[in-house]
Amino acid sequence: MPENDPHFAAYKPIRNKLRKLNPHSILKLVADKLFEVENRGIEVMRHFQPWNMLLLLRWSIQEIDTVAHRRPDATQNDFHQLLNQIHEMDALSLPDDYEHVILFLRTLSYQQFALQRGPDGSAIARMNLLFGGLKNGHEYQTQFKKQTGISILDCLDLCYATATIFIARTPSRTIQPQLYRLIKDSLPPSAIEDFLVLISTTPTEVQSRLANDPDFKNQTIAEQSILPSPFLDTPIIRVGQSKYRVLSPRLVLRRIESVIYRTLKTGNPSFGVKFGRIFEAYVHDCLRSAEVDCLSENQLNRTFGGEGKCVDFLIREDECNILIDAKGVEANLPARIARSTSYLISKLRTSVQKGIEQGMETQIRALSSDSLKREIRINPCEPFLLIVTYDHLHLGSSYDLESILGDSMLSKLREKYGDPLPVPLGNIFFASIEEFEDLLSAIRTKEISSFGGFFRYAREQDLDPRTRKMDLYLHLAERIKNPERLPILQESLTQIARRVILRIPDAYRNGAKTKAFLK
């Protein structure tokens, strides 16, 4: 930790105390309290914030040396004192340190939201749809097997089996391969160990990653205090041969929900381009599952003729056109802690800027002078642009978009596309794939009558500071009273369940053990 860091004086007493305590005892205290948070919820969380406990564990592991195992164990008093010291450091990052308050709120969202969400079966179903059906010999299959030692399909089934373990009433605090004994014989000999190694780590590996990974090694103390924990990727600690200590059931669920995506993405610079095509096809599959009629990019380009940028899909409604562009991306760590809008946009150029430009140009091409001659008619009505990303970008409300984009980018857009812009900024929304699925499901079940009606509602809400929302899902939560999965997701989840059941020997398949296993 650099001693010239402006917050080193606040960090130093914590560091000095950690250097006197056995890091494995800190690990046990953190895991015990995270399980208590899991069992008792907000009653415990308001006093013991999971993100602060994970920060304490990170700092404890950073201070491991050759004699760390000889140090005395930390007591409960030591634990409470250290957490109080970290709590007093919360002022390291304040709204005034950011160009816009939304940038500050983004950091809190990335730090905390993953630790507050419950189980999400749709996430595993989505992963199955994105990667489970890849053709034999696909480069992602080869890459994943090379990186992990297991196949994508075996990994998906083990993710589902693991989820059933951790949504039990009393989830295990340790994992051993024998927990998977009912499906063991249907897997390659090393598959279970390879899977557990994939979602786990050792203190030594964490220390090495913090010291050498470019995303972590140069972080300031303030950045470390607000960034998502490295334990989101490795929520299980290997503490012996075939023995694994669980930090938190919730963290395990977060990891298995995206383990294939993040594993393939790691160390693969070309991942984004190739995954983008898979993601776009998945977005189209979701639209079909919701029985939404749309025009694809190919249809639009044939309709428009000539050259130009184009969104992936266009939905025609009576009084508006919905332009949809799919971007299979997530914000990297630097983008998650951006303190200026220009830096943020520079890190999200391929998703935010490119998506907006494609929407603007599509609207111009749709309303060109020869539009009446086309076989496919696109009415000259109000446009809305929805940019769908793999994960949340947390860019704030439609009202905040002008401030987030910044003067430089807005000037370029107006210079290129005219003023007023073809698609008003207040009509541009961002949605994670999860939010998009929920919107489509609500359209399908008629809880939301139309895309245009919903976006007009969200826009009006965002104009008023009292009803403005940080993310689209907050608008959705107000409108959706009886949420349902899209049929495509429910079918995928059922498909995984059936695969896992077929891995269980006949003697157990219909018995009580199977029911408990699949609960």
Kindly report the CATH number assigned to the domain that includes residue 305.
3.40.91
Same domain, 250 and 364: no
Whether pLDDT at 193 is above 90: yes
Query: From the centroid of its chain, how far is CA 349?
Result: 19
Q: Note whether residue 155 is domain-resident.
A: yes
Short-list 201, 248, 229, CA closest to 34: 248
Same domain, 473 and 326: yes
Give mean pLDDT, residues 245-264. 94
Residue 513: band (very low, low, confident or very high) from pLDDT cuts 50, 70, 90: very low
The dihedral sign for the CA sequence 164, 166, 171, 172 = positive
Q: Of 249, 265, 281, which residue is a domain's last?
A: 265
Single-letter amino acid, residue 141: Q
Whether pLDDT at 3 is above 80: no
Same domain, 325 and 310: yes
Extended beta strands in 407-455, E state? 428-432
Under 8 Å between Cβ of 296 and 304: no
Same domain, 70 and 127: no
When computed from its CA atoms, the radius of gyration of the chain, rounded to whole angstroms, is 25
Extended beta strands in 229-359, E state? 236-240, 243-246, 295-296, 313-316, 320-327
Extended beta strands in 165-303, E state? 174-175, 200-201, 236-240, 243-246, 295-296
**To the nearest whole number, what is the mean pLDDT of the chain?**
91
User: What local confidence, expressed as pLDDT, does residue 374 receive?
Assistant: 60
Same domain, 158 and 288: no
Same domain, 172 and 28: no
The two structure tokens encoding residue 219: 């972080």
| Least confident span in 240-254, 381-395, 443-457 | 240-254
Residue 55: band (very low, low, confident or very high) from pLDDT cuts 50, 70, 90: very high
The two structure tokens encoding residue 205: 């590996």
Cα–Cα distances (Å) from 434 to 348, 371, 410, in that order, read: 19, 35, 29
Helices (H), 451-486: 451-463, 472-479
Whether pLDDT at 413 is above 60: yes
Same domain, 221 and 345: no
Give mean pLDDT, residues 72-80. 97
User: What local confidence, expressed as pLDDT, does residue 41 receive?
Assistant: 82
Same domain, 143 and 255: yes
Residue 369: band (very low, low, confident or very high) from pLDDT cuts 50, 70, 90: low
Q: Note whether residue 106 is domain-resident.
A: no
User: What local confidence, expressed as pLDDT, does residue 514 receive?
Assistant: 42
Same domain, 221 and 203: yes
Residue 118: band (very low, low, confident or very high) from pLDDT cuts 50, 70, 90: confident
Contacts of 444 (CB under 8 A, 6+ apart): 289, 290, 291, 292, 486
Single-letter amino acid, residue 356: I
Same domain, 161 and 193: yes
Element (H, E) at 387: strand 382-389
Percentage, residues of the chain above pLDDT 70: 95
What pLDDT digit, counting tens, does each position of 208-251 carry? 998 898 878 888 898 888 888 889 889 999 987 778 999 999 99
CA distance 156 to 141: 12
Give mean pLDDT, residues 309-326. 95
User: What local confidence, expressed as pLDDT, does residue 360 receive?
Assistant: 97
Contacts of 454 (CB under 8 A, 6+ apart): 439, 442, 448, 475, 479
Q: Which domain does 30 fall in, by range?
A: 6-92
Q: Note whether residue 495 is domain-resident.
A: no
* Domain count within the chain: 3
Q: Note whether residue 101 is domain-resident.
A: no
Whether pLDDT at 431 is above 70: yes
What pLDDT digit, counting tens, does each position of 327-343 carry? 999 998 889 989 999 99
Same domain, 365 and 474: yes
The dihedral sign for the CA sequence 38, 41, 43, 44 = positive
